[in-house]
Amino acid sequence: MSDIKVVRHHALPLAKARAMAQEAADALAAEYNLTSEWHGNTLRFHRAGVDGVMHVKATQIQLEVTLGFLLKAFKGKLVEHIERNFDKLMPEREVEAPARKATKTTAKKATRRA
């Protein structure tokens, strides 16, 4: 089971999203001495105490990280660092908000306004 899960929705072409994921992996490799390998559109990475995958999909990038016992204490800092890196690599204009599901309440409000 993953200790960290981050999902970012995007409106990028798949090739550009994958290139962005590689850029993130390169930065993490340099900073944390991670090794990584692509399997289709999934990037697997590893180092002592860290195992993870980054799934690059048509509309989202999903990151899952499993931490070793000693690194679990740094989970909060790691999540902040991951979020900051995603923010740098995916400018706001390229991020697509997930579609909201209509609920009975919003459907009733829309009907009343019409």
Domain with residue 46: its CATH number is 3.30.310.50
pTM: 0.73
Smallest CA-to-CA distance from 20 within 63, 77, 80, 64 is with 63
**Domains identified in the chain, total number:** 1
> pLDDT class for 2, splitting at 50, 70, 90?
confident
Which residue range forms the structural domain that includes residue 8?
4-113
The total of other beta-carbon atoms located within 10 Å of residue 16's CB is 13
20-47: pLDDT as tens digits: 889 888 888 888 899 999 999 999 999 9
